[in-house]
Structure 1
Amino acid sequence: MLASPIINQRLLEHLNTGVLLLDADLSVLYVNPAAEALLEMSGKRCLGVPFYELAHESDESIVALRHSVVTGHSYTKREAIIQLHNQQQITLDYSVSPVAHPETRLPSLLIELQGRDRLMRISREEQLIAKQETTRSLVRGLAHEIKNPLGGIRGAAQLLSRELPSNDLTEYTNIIIEEADRLRDLVDRLLGPRHIPKQEDVNIHEVLERVCQLIEVESQGRITIDRDYDPSIPELQADKGQMIQAMLNICRNAMQAMLESSPEIEQPTLQLRTRTVRQFTIGHQRHRLVAQIDITDNGPGIPEDLRENLFYPMVSGRAEGTGLGLSISQSIINQKNGIIEFASEPGKTIFSIYLPLESL
């Protein structure tokens, strides 16, 4: 028994895969709700509109669609970068299959769309979290191996200074002691916070306001700070001092980048924006409610060669930088089951911090 057209349409409307039917001129004849969501346009507004006006990949892709109508050949494209009618870009897998129109029997194209952005983001976050955990384990092991001989070197230098016949010679043992202390402090910073986090109710906006005060003092008022807060964000359980440190490290990096290139920037500006996001996935864990804190600057952007390893310890774009700030920030946020992401181009860099607001 053949299924009726009504039943077929109902099945298409319940698919998670986007489905479109185009005529021979590539105009939309049918679009299911999943495709409407991907294209960010209602079905009524899609009908009769050329597909390439709704979602444009390249001129070659239009030629390929027309060629498929003529030859009857199917094809599939993976991770295609599509620009929507509203200038937003998304990543899609899509398959094109020539079919006959169910009523007119004229040549048509059936296009199946599968969004890739969310899956790619989840995969990217899982890799980032795994890298961070591996790095922390490596740093802990290396730090302990360094601290053990440092203690012996420092102690031996102290004993030696007591046995020296002249006070003038203690200058050299003092150098050994000072350099051993400097290396110990560096190792301690690599290990991150040494005390157990104090869990308390923390208002994220109080944290950000404290960071703003510090940035205003350090920059001597040379940076404009824009605030765009969502006052409905509830308090979260966290260590307030560590939260301030995590946000301050990011803001301080932005401040330094803007001030160092200030002749090229008319007005260095730092924007702090907070919002809530519902049903948000971090790594493999889905959260009902997440706080999103965006820290945006109009500096020169992050060099391309640093982006892949930006959160690793000792990675810095500044000659005098230690490369520990972002690594420590990511570690603090990871401990709260959150994550830090970034997007950067010349003139605009955004660090987005995602913190779950429900207790796991």
Structure 2
Amino acid sequence: MKASASGRLNASSNKPNPWSLRFQAFDLLATPVAVINGRGLVLFVNAALEDTIGLSRRTLQGLHLGEYFTDKKPLEIALEGARSNEFAALRYEASLQRANHDELLPVHVIVAQSDQADEVIVELLPIEQQTRQEREERIVDQAQANKELIRNLAHEIKNPLGGIRGAAQLLEMELDSKDLTEYTQVIIREADRLQTLVDRLLAPHRKPHVVGDVNMHEVCERVRSLILAEFPKGLKVVRDYDISIPEFRGDREQLIQAVLNIAHNAAQALTDRRAEGDAELTLRTRIARQVTFGKQRYRLALELHVIDNGPGVPDSIKDRIFFPLISGREGGSGLGLTLAQTFVQQHHGSIECDSMPGRTDFKILIPLP
């Protein structure tokens, strides 16, 4: 899978790559990028491509990039077109071979001319990653639309709601019949209930973001104690922590509320198992490496899993569980997961859910410095 010795660029292992300084900005990209010459020999690869292929840039420099595809012919055709200025950029799909991996990686290849002679820039978009990025972008856009809708709707409801409650109180003062005042009390109680709901809808937008040093395990321990206090029988809360995870800057109270909302939903879903005495909720922390949020790449991220052995999320709402007012249980407000998503996104993170009968896993990802 290596180019022949005669096909390699002449480069001394003792000399720095002359292109490293010119192309160092590519190391900031989450997308794997290679710069090759007109013959297909590697001049430079960024850190993302090193991670993807599993080889260092020093090893890859001077090799023919096409050797790492199952079929190098499309790349050769693209290079021929670049030399003859037939196009500014060419796109095609290919399969990438990686060191120490038996499985091929499907990628979307973009071959573009550089502003320098005999240089071509090759961008490799893992198709799975591209799909995930598009999904994340849709989720962020949907969450933003939801927040705007909630905020506008809550304000529209709040003003007339205060008027209804006030009118009911005034009417009650004019009524002599106790039977009739029961009706005004119903109006007042329902107005108060709706006011509480509106306040919960507006809560994330009212409270300032209080940033400080956060130890995620302290957050998990606080959530664990609250869950066990509310569900003392039949529920086991398992700790599975990676104690090497560093502190990071964030809003501790928001993160407690986010994790608590997820864990509380899980505990409520475990009603039958709690009755049988084998309900289990796991709080697991890990370090994730080379994580991409949207279009930005982070070397390290906190990965927190809230896992339960309950019945799973109903299929009818799986794709909508983070939407406001969507609940899988009778009497639920449908705001817990929406608020959790809002708080996590305010930390530039994301929440994903993988659910099947017997195992539901909510994964929170938050970038680390």
TM-score of the superposed pair, with normalisation by structure 2:
0.67
- Where does residue 71 of structure 1 map in the other structure? none
Cα distance in structure 1, aligned partners of 2:50 and 2:292: 22
| Cα deviations by residue, 1:168-225 (Å, 9 ceiling, x for unpaired) | 4222111111110101111111223332132222211011001111111222231222
In the TM superposition, what are the counterparts of 1:155-174 in structure 2 within 5 Å?
Answer: 155-174=166-185
Aligned residue pairs total 286
- Where does residue 202 of structure 1 map in the other structure? 214
- Where does residue 235 of structure 2 map in the other structure? 223
- Where does residue 244 of structure 1 map in the other structure? 256
* Aligned: 1:137 with 2:116: no
* Aligned: 1:285 with 2:296: yes
Cα distance in structure 1, aligned partners of 2:94 and 2:279: 36
Contact kept? 1:258, 1:298, Cα under 8 Å: yes
Contact kept? 1:13, 1:33, Cα under 8 Å: no
- Where does residue 119 of structure 1 map in the other structure? 130
Q: Indicate the RMSD between aligned Cα atoms, in angstroms.
A: 3.7
* Aligned: 1:175 with 2:186: yes
* Aligned: 1:254 with 2:261: no
* Aligned: 1:326 with 2:337: yes
Cα distance in structure 2, aligned partners of 1:159 and 1:35: 70
Contact kept? 2:215, 2:247, Cα under 8 Å: yes
Contact kept? 1:230, 1:274, Cα under 8 Å: yes
- Where does residue 189 of structure 1 map in the other structure? 200
Residue type matched to 1:225 in 2? V
Change in CA separation of 1:79 and 1:316 when aligned onto 2, cut-off 3 Å: farther
Q: Which one of the candidate residues 279, 282, 295 is aligned to 1:271?
A: 282
Change in CA separation of 1:165 and 1:259 when aligned onto 2, cut-off 3 Å: closer
Cα distance in structure 2, aligned partners of 1:266 and 1:86: 43
In the TM superposition, what are the counterparts of 1:61-100 in structure 2 within 5 Å?
Answer: 92=106
Residue type matched to 2:134 in 1? S
| Cα deviations by residue, 1:134-158 (Å, 9 ceiling, x for unpaired) | 0000111111111111011011111
Cα distance in structure 2, aligned partners of 1:140 and 1:90: 46
User: Aligned to 1:192, what secondary structure does the other structure show?
Assistant: helix
User: Aligned to 1:276, what secondary structure does the other structure show?
Assistant: strand
* Aligned: 1:299 with 2:310: yes
Contact kept? 2:317, 2:328, Cα under 8 Å: yes
Change in CA separation of 1:175 and 1:33 when aligned onto 2, cut-off 3 Å: closer
* Aligned: 1:351 with 2:362: yes
Cα distance in structure 2, aligned partners of 1:238 and 1:295: 19
Shift in Å at residue 230 of structure 1? 1.6
Residue type matched to 2:172 in 1? S
Cα distance in structure 2, aligned partners of 1:340 and 1:246: 10
Change in CA separation of 1:326 and 1:79 when aligned onto 2, cut-off 3 Å: farther
Shift in Å at residue 336 of structure 1? 1.2
| Cα deviations by residue, 1:26-80 (Å, 9 ceiling, x for unpaired) | xxxxxx9998659xxxxxxxxxxxxxxxxxxxxxxxxxxxxxxxxxxxxxx9899
Contact kept? 1:135, 1:312, Cα under 8 Å: yes
Contact kept? 1:261, 1:300, Cα under 8 Å: no
Change in CA separation of 1:164 and 1:318 when aligned onto 2, cut-off 3 Å: same
Cα distance in structure 2, aligned partners of 1:335 and 1:94: 31
Range 150-159 or range 6-15, more displaced: 6-15
Contact kept? 1:90, 1:117, Cα under 8 Å: no
* Aligned: 1:211 with 2:236: no
Residue type matched to 1:287 in 2? Y
Contact kept? 1:203, 1:235, Cα under 8 Å: yes
Change in CA separation of 1:210 and 1:79 when aligned onto 2, cut-off 3 Å: farther
Cα distance in structure 1, aligned partners of 2:283 and 2:6: 50
Contact kept? 1:15, 1:34, Cα under 8 Å: no
Cα distance in structure 2, aligned partners of 1:205 and 1:182: 35
Cα distance in structure 1, aligned partners of 2:105 and 2:4: 31
Change in CA separation of 1:256 and 1:204 when aligned onto 2, cut-off 3 Å: same
Cα distance in structure 2, aligned partners of 1:86 and 1:298: 32
- Where does residue 37 of structure 2 map in the other structure? none
Residue type matched to 2:106 in 1? L
User: Aligned to 1:221, what secondary structure does the other structure show?
Assistant: coil
Shift in Å at residue 161 of structure 1? 1.2
| Cα deviations by residue, 1:1-45 (Å, 9 ceiling, x for unpaired) | xxx8446578577898xxxxxxxxxxxxxxx9998659xxxxxxx
The sequence identity of aligned pairs, in percent, is 45
